Structure 1
Amino acid sequence: MNDVARVAGVSVSTVSHVINGTRRVDPETEQVVRLAIASAGYIPNSLARSLARSTTSTIGVAISTFANHYFSEIVRAIDTACGKAGLMMLFADTHDDPEQELRVVQAFHQRRVDGILMAPTNDGALRSLKYLEANQIPAVLVDHLLPTPFDQVGVENTEAMQSLVAHLIGHGHSRIGYLSGAQWNSTSGERLAGYRRALAAAGVAIDERLVACGESSVEPARLAVHALLALPDRPSAIVSGNNLMTLGAMRALKEAGVAIPGEIAFAGFDDLDWADLYSPSLTVTAQPLEDIGARAVSLLIRRIREPDAARSVVRMPAAMRIRRSCGCP
């Protein structure tokens, strides 16, 4: 900054005012200063300015399994909301690995982010959550909701899955196979509870053989569907607990030559870009991904500004998109 002031023939304080916009500077003088900045190759140190204010206007986003379209859409929504709020977003993939998650959280802390948005690795996230709490880092949990003191935002998993299964029951199905997600995942547990609740509400006995673990992934789900099809009294309908398992289920049903919905009806949790293009189009439960991302940023901004505010847990409704795979015309 001293070099810029010398080239422009002005004081260092004048250069500072031009860079930071902290005081009006004569237009001609401002132009001279900006030319001096360009000629000197000077890059204003925004980090230094933010350090003086004890903020960086940056938030860290630690999301597991970025390869999943669901999370990529949430990250996109978070980035959009950050832009509107004048914040920068730093992103790191935790790969559902508790050790990687802790490293990411620590790295964000070292870079002095103002707060962190995290889709935790559930039980394995304990160390990360303890680190956040011990260092008083403002944080909001997204999607995987846990019994913690942190603000959280996610979808009404149990209610949404109950409605989806009830829709199939309304079509006359009583033997409904269910592809459950990874057992360590709290979201998977909530959706499985919705499946069970729908059957119980309809007076349908639960056959545990119809509950298959698809591990929240494509290939395990494909194998799980083949196992369901091998049952002597196979299901007349199948419900998938997430978008990746839906893809695995579609592969298995195609490999087995099963007609949808003629032989087996199908419905899945999470909408997909191709769900309405598939033949037949897929009935799904769609999450409000943009709203989830925007609300997460809003909650984090509030927590940064009001560290002592009451804890907030937001459950957002999902929307059923009825298409043809369930048997609807």
Structure 2
Amino acid sequence: MPTMADVARSAGVSVATVSHVLNETRPVLPHTRQAVLDAIDELGYTPNTLARSLVTSRTRSIGLAVSAISNPHFTDILQGVETGALEHGYSLFLADPHDDPVHERKVVQLLHERRVDGMIVAPSADPRELVSYLRRHDVPTVFLDRVVDSPGDESPRFDQVCADSAAPTADLVAHLAGLGHRRIALVAGRPGLSTTRERINGYRYGLAAAGFPYDERLVVHGASESAGGQRATASLLSLAVPPTALVTANNVMTLGALRALSERGLSVPDDMALCCFDDFDWADLFTPRLTAVAQPGKEIGAQAVRLLLERLAVPDRPARTVRLTCTFVHRTSCGCPGEPERSAQPERGIVP
């Protein structure tokens, strides 16, 4: 197996110069750097990551704690994180907190003990222990998909990246209202999550813009899971005056809602118009095809990596919260005929 000394001899430089190229501990002239890289490629040299970490105090690794990895939305996020990390020479340690605050704190501690350079976390509905640990140990961290509110007027302590949730949900409601629906229900996600709160707010904005009153009986939490979405939809169908249109707040709850409608012998959109938050690869294979809000999952993941690397480079810079634009994917489950259309802009711009 070739050694660093072999690389140095092949490139005609000192071992120290090879070390500086590999560890980025000192500037090296471009032609010298290229000679070292060419020698590494020719000899098939593999750097000793452990030894490098002892020199630089960096492991070039990122801890990623994301629940519901099987959810297509989080799969897209994972792909974005992985691609961004590999592009910059970082490896990933992956953990699933299972949306449990106690387990979340444990897995983050385990990742920290692996000496990751920083973390990317999709926080649970109650991230107090998580935030306390990260602050106490000063761990460079980016929250993704779900944001953590700072108390009062306090500035955010962590970088965060997510998709806009309120405006797209408001636009789904407006779209259904424009089709003549007056009783529009929402299958909301797990209570306590920022995404759940924002999508409920967007739902309420949409109703208000359409001139409809808010009826709390038409909002049922589906726990952000398929079975929960099925139960929530069944309870809505059992109302004395059930809704005629339904907005589901994530993709797996959409599947549960479709099961509940099927069990009742109801068809979409003839008996129930349906719009959903989260598009997924097979949404246009359903009959009818699902009208949906598509989140930029891969870009969320890639942006999280960029924010983390910026934090590692400049630890004292102010924290940033980045919100990315969703896409309205217009198909036929809402009751509209015609070919699918995509629009990156909110349909009615209800929420500024």
**Does TM-score exceed 0.5, indicating one fold?**
yes
Deviations 1:37-81 (A, max 9, x none): 9xxxxx753122122111111111011221222112101110001
Partner of 2:316: 308
Report whether the alignment pairs 1:256 with 2:264. yes
Would you say the 8 A contact 1:269–1:284 is kept in 2? yes
Partner of 1:92: 95
Q: Distance in 2 between matches of 1:315 and 1:76?
A: 19
Determine which of 68, 80, 88 is the counterpart of 2:71. Answer: 68
Q: Secondary structure at the match of 1:276?
A: helix
Partner of 2:147: 145
Q: TM-score, normalised by structure 1?
A: 0.88
Deviations 1:67-105 (A, max 9, x none): 222112101110001111121111111111222211221
Partner of 2:347: none
Would you say the 8 A contact 1:66–1:95 is kept in 2? no
Distance of aligned partners of 1:242 and 1:305 in 2 relative to their CA distance in 1, 3 Å threshold:
same
Which amino acid letter does the alignment assign opposite residue 71 of structure 1? Answer: F
Report whether the alignment pairs 1:204 with 2:212. yes
Deviations 1:145-186 (A, max 9, x none): 112410100011111101111111110111011101111222
Partner of 2:53: 50
Deviations 1:1-38 (A, max 9, x none): 9x998xxx9xxx967766876697999xx79xx69x9x
Q: Distance in 2 between matches of 1:92 and 1:15?
A: 37
Aligned identity (percent) is 43
Deviations 1:195-215 (A, max 9, x none): 011101111012222111111
Q: Secondary structure at the match of 2:168?
A: helix
Q: Distance in 2 between matches of 1:217 and 1:58?
A: 31
- The structure with the largest alpha-carbon Rg is 1
Q: CA deviation at 1:232?
A: 2.3
Would you say the 8 A contact 1:59–1:113 is kept in 2? yes
Q: Distance in 2 between matches of 1:46 and 1:140?
A: 24
Count of paired positions: 315
Question: What's the Cα RMSD here?
Answer: 2.8
Partner of 1:135: 137
Determine which of 109, 112, 120 is the counterpart of 2:112. Answer: 109
1:150-189 matches, cutoff 5 A: 150-189=158-197
Runs of 5+ consecutive residues of structure 1 not aligned to the other structure: 38-42
Q: TM-score, normalised by structure 2?
A: 0.82
Q: Distance in 1 between matches of 2:284 and 2:20?
A: 50
Q: Distance in 1 between matches of 2:213 and 2:100?
A: 37
Show structure 1 runs of 4+ deviating over 6 A: 13-20, 22-27
Partner of 1:40: none
Would you say the 8 A contact 2:95–2:107 is kept in 1? yes
Partner of 1:240: 248
Determine which of 280, 285, 297 is the counterpart of 1:289. Answer: 297
Q: Secondary structure at the match of 2:191?
A: coil
Runs of 5+ consecutive residues of structure 2 not aligned to the other structure: 23-27, 151-156, 338-352
Q: Secondary structure at the match of 1:91?
A: strand
Q: Secondary structure at the match of 1:261?
A: coil
Distance of aligned partners of 1:18 and 1:48 in 2 relative to their CA distance in 1, 3 Å threshold:
same
